Structure 1
Amino acid sequence: MLVTSAVIMGHDGLMSIPQTAASTTLNPFQGSAPLGAPAREEYVKTMLARTTRTAVPIRSAFVQRLAKDANASGERGSMLAKIVKTRSAVHLDAFLFIHAIASSRAPYKATYPSQTWVRALGLDQGTGGGTDDGLEAAQSSWSKVVRRLVDQGLIRREREGRQMSYILLDESGHGSEYVRPTSDKVHGTWFSIPHAYWLEGHYMTMTFPAKVMLLIALSMKSTFTLPFERVPKWYGISQSTAKRGFAELTKKGILSHTIQWRIEPTSPVGYAEMRSYELQGGWSTASRKAASTRPTDAVLFTVPATNSGDEKSVGE
């Protein structure tokens, strides 16, 4: 027997995730117990589906400090630059995934067993995660990642029974309480990261430079320029990282660019190249804005019911 349920868009303006009957018609209570743990991507999809959102907001302060907050050298690199210096892509993914999973209302927390975080972020891969020793090593790696995020003032921990909750702090890394941004005037500028980053597997296939430059591109206006020689001062990221990241995003069809030439007397050839960039498809500013302003009609989907009973319509 199937139960029809509905998900409504949250008050934060981020769309709920449609779920099709095809993906939910299997009755999980029938048959033998599955062997082994679910695949990494299945953990991620299930955890994201429970948020009933399709994107998550991140303050621009995570990517770049305001001009007034630049250091003595005028550099404006922020928490993203600090994470890049760790050379740990999983460090960045952990931060983004905790934000994606955390509740959209105070206290803005995410609570799952450590094994779930380990498997979702792939920390058990290559460690013999199927064995007790391998799982212990993977959990140790997760603890180190969490400790870095705590030390950087991006999250705080709170034990709830046998599980640990991770509570969001302001993305600036100042350790201040988190408030979900909904207005630039009230909460500072912010941008949205589509859950497509996870659902389309980009978190598994993108290189670290591409992930870093995707965040920078998402924080920009719909069409933008970014001279590579300015990236170190503006974002605390090396030119080589910026070039490699943008090249990969372009190859994946996520980013496009057009080239124009301007007269430049200091150039040996008298001209200088100007590139204008624009995110494509569901990553574009227009697509992300449209997704957050669609009507709040319920999205119906079916889920397995228990042993008996009539079909019902359930509103959330």
Structure 2
Amino acid sequence: MKTTATAKQDMQGDVATGRDTRTAVLDRSIRTNVPLRKTFVQANRGSVSRHGPLKDFVTGRDLRGLRAYLIIVAACSNGDNGWSTTHDSAVWSRLMDIHETAVSQSARTGAWRALRRLEERNLIECSRSGTKITVTLLREDGTGKPYDRPVGDREENRFLQIPNTFWAQGRDEKLSLPGLALFLVVAREKHWVALPAERAPEWYGWSPDTHERGLKQLVDLGFVLKRAIKKKAPFAPLGYTIAHEYRRALITMPRKSKPKKKSAPPTTA
């Protein structure tokens, strides 16, 4: 017969973690990658400001809110339920890892408050009935417009993709707020790109120091690659300067969708 201590350990091992819950959400969406409009990161050229809604998460030091928003996009953007998803508030708290630092009722309350903050940013709508909370996506640009799936036909509909493995393998859990923000910045680009820190306040709305810390963490973790480029500079002492460019590493690149299995043709008598 098992001892009480061993039985208690077995019981604890059967409890779903935050990562388990996020992975289940992704499995249910039946997709390999999650699309996110690029305007969430940075407004299109010609806009009064180039800052996207991402800026407010960074300057507000809201890592939990940013992680919550990204998994909500993953949960709702497949369109199976009108861009909405409904879960018990305890499940929402586990999706956001709030349950790790709060007891049951406090975790439920924390989840509702986190979702309401996203609603105040015009990124989602949320409602609750009893312990159930329904979340509906709005446009990623923070305008409050209804959501539709980005298809890349116009500049406002261009999108980046986050592979499901980003959550399923716990890469999101390793990133600080600057790291996660800069991951989205790099993911916004398809090829090698220069991301000078001195342009960060103008382009994204955060400090050069935040920008550099985010890039450094991504490179140190192997999520992003970095290369040096020599540029001709007639007035530089050596006649050239060194700049750096970045792109996603293979482990954080979008995955190819698995081909759907063809059904066998009907047999004839």
Q: TM-score, normalised by structure 1?
A: 0.73
8 Å Cα contact 1:222-1:278 kept in structure 2: yes
Q: Identical aligned pairs, as a percentage?
A: 27
User: Of 257, 261, 264, which aligns to 1:297?
Assistant: 261
**Structure that is richer in helix per residue:** 2
One-letter identity of the residue aligned with 2:213: R
Q: Which runs of 5+ in 1 are unaligned?
A: 1-33, 128-133, 300-316
Q: Which residue of 2 aligns with 1:264?
A: 233
Work out the CA distance in 2 between the residues paired with 1:121 and 1:227. 32
Q: CA deviation at 1:40?
A: 2.3
Q: CA deviation at 1:266?
A: 5.1
* Shift in Å, 1:259: 0.8
Name the residue aligned to 2:140.
171
SS at match of 1:67: coil
Deviation at 1:270, TM superposition (A): 4.2
Aligned to 1:40: 18
Offset, 1:235: 0.9
Contact 1:103 / 1:110 at 8 angstroms: preserved in 2?
no
Q: Structure 2: how far apart are the matches of 1:49 and 1:189? A: 24
| 1:86 maps onto 2:55 in alignment | no
For 1:136 and 1:219, how far apart are their aligned partners in 2? 38
Shift of 1:103: 5.0
Alignment-mate amino acid for residue 35 of structure 1: M
Compute the displacement of 1:267 (Å).
4.1
Aligned equivalents of 1:221, 1:40: Cα separation in 2: 30
Shift of 1:227: 1.3
Contact 1:258 1:277 in 2 (8 A): yes
Distance in 2, Cα, partners of 1:88 & 1:149: 11
Q: 1:167-190, CA deviations, whole angstroms, 9 ceiling, x for partnerless residues?
A: 000001010000011233385211
User: Is the Cα–Cα contact under 8 Å of residues 86 and 133 in structure 2 kept in the other structure?
Assistant: yes
Residue 153 of structure 1 corresponds to 122
CA drift at 1:164: 1.6
- Higher relative contact order, chain-length normalized (CA < 8 Å, sep 6+): 1
In the alignment, structure 1 residue 143 sits paired with structure 2 residue 117: no
Contact 2:18–2:96 (Cα < 8 Å) also in 1: yes
Report deviation, 1:271: 2.8
- In the alignment, structure 2 segments of 5+ residues that lack a partner are 1-9, 264-269
2:228 alignment partner AA: I
Instruction: Note the alpha carbon deviations across 1:66-93, whole angstroms, 9 max, x for none.
Output: 122123xxxx111000111220211001
Report the equivalent of 1:5: none
What secondary structure does 1:291 align onto?
coil
AA aligned to 2:256 is A
Name the Cα RMSD after superposition: 2.2
Q: 1:157 offset after TM fit, Å?
A: 1.4
Within the candidate set 70, 75, 78, 1:96 is matched to 70
Q: Distance in 1 between matches of 2:40 and 2:245?
A: 23
- Partner of residue 57, structure 1: 35
> Which letter maps to 2:51?
G
Match of 1:77 in 2: 51
Question: In the alignment, is the contact (CA less than 8 A) between 1:184 and 1:190 conserved in 2?
Answer: no
One-letter identity of the residue aligned with 2:138: L
Q: Is the 8 A contact 2:166 2:252 kept in 1?
A: no
Contact kept, 8 Å, 1:77 with 1:237, in 2: the verdict is no
Q: Which residue of 2 aligns with 1:226?
A: 195
Residue 119 (structure 1) aligned with residue 97 (structure 2): no
Normalised to the residue count of structure 2, the TM-score between the two structures is: 0.85
Q: Residues 16-56 of structure 1, C-alpha deviation per residue, up to 9 Å, x if partnerless?
A: xxxxxxxxxxxxxxxxxx73532222222222211111211
By how many angstroms is 1:191 displaced? Answer: 0.8
- Write the deviation string for residues 130-161 of structure 1: whole angstroms up to 9, x where unpaired: xxxx2222222222211111011000013466
State the 1:268 CA deviation.
5.2
